[in-house]
Structure 1
Amino acid sequence: MLILKTVFFFGCLTFFLSLILIYISEKYVIYSNILIDSIDNLLPQSQCGQCQYVSCYSYAKAIILNGEKINKCIPGGMSIIKNISNFLNVDVVKDQHFEDNNIIIDYRIIAWINEDHCVGCNKCIHVCPVDSIIGSKNLTHTIISDFCTGCKLCIEVCPTDCIKLRKVEI
């Protein structure tokens, strides 16, 4: 009999809590913009800030709501620019790579570790948003240049100042 009372109690509790959840979900509906979400899904999600926005979502929001240029995502490169332009049905200016204050940028910036000065502190590994830094604690680290977005987050935390930025032609 005690088992039946317990099952009945938890069944009723579950029922009433589900009614509360249904009420709350209908009262506090979060509306999202499908265009912003679609543009955000096209972006690389590295949250590097090179587009001058805090996150890829805020950049996508600025593209849709403020008419921001679609060519500010440096880590995404030309492929992201073309995908966004196809989605929004806008033209890409010729075959230019990136435009920053009317200067065409035809290179990428990536981080490079001077392995002679690296002490293996692991601080850079934890801040890299795209996991392009490999290495173990107390051992030399290195950067996989194909994955690096040049966000400069690793430079700020490096205690030995052994991480530098380099230009790589596209």
Structure 2
Amino acid sequence: MNQILFDSSTGVLVMALAKDGRMIDYSIRIGKKDHAKYVVDRIDQMLKRKLLTIDQIDEIIVGYGPGSYTGLRIAVMVAKMLAYTKNIQLKAVSSLYFLSSGIEEAVAPMIDARNGNVFAAIFGEDQMILEEGLYTIDYVREVAKSHQVKPYFIDERHYEIDTKKIIQKSFDIEDVHHFVPNYLRITEAERNLE
């Protein structure tokens, strides 16, 4: 089974190509809110390096948030488009989990949400200690400390992925058309309308 995995919820576009869950190629690109220009091309480059075509892909696993509003929309839209047009099974997984899946011990991944806030969760060995949400950095650090869990701030240079774990944690998207990113908060424009 051939799988494409990708996430663009932060300033880094992380992609992997896997065969039966084992990573066989990857692509990393640090961007400046311009992932949209590179996602499809990067997928194509990975496939060509392994002499594969998109028609040989069985699953697409996408990080669907939380994170950058624009980054989430890009990843989810590309994943939906490819899944629908090529009849590929679409799966989704938390971006927080995706970008910290390579860490062996329990972890408290955080993505900057500005103004002293983070999108965060705390993943234990087999359980969720803190549900995904929008929290203050101090609150997440306090909860992590009380559970003796390592805080992990995800950014362009700090992320660790494990394709097998990402695939195991992913879930099937039954209705591709109604699949939306996990934003966890309304946009600034929506807040200004209130």
TM-score by length of 1: 0.27
The answer to which structure, 1 or 2, has the higher relative contact order (CA under 8 A, 6+ apart) is: 2
Q: Which has the higher helix share?
A: 1
What is the TM-score when the length of structure 2 is the normalising length?
Answer: 0.25
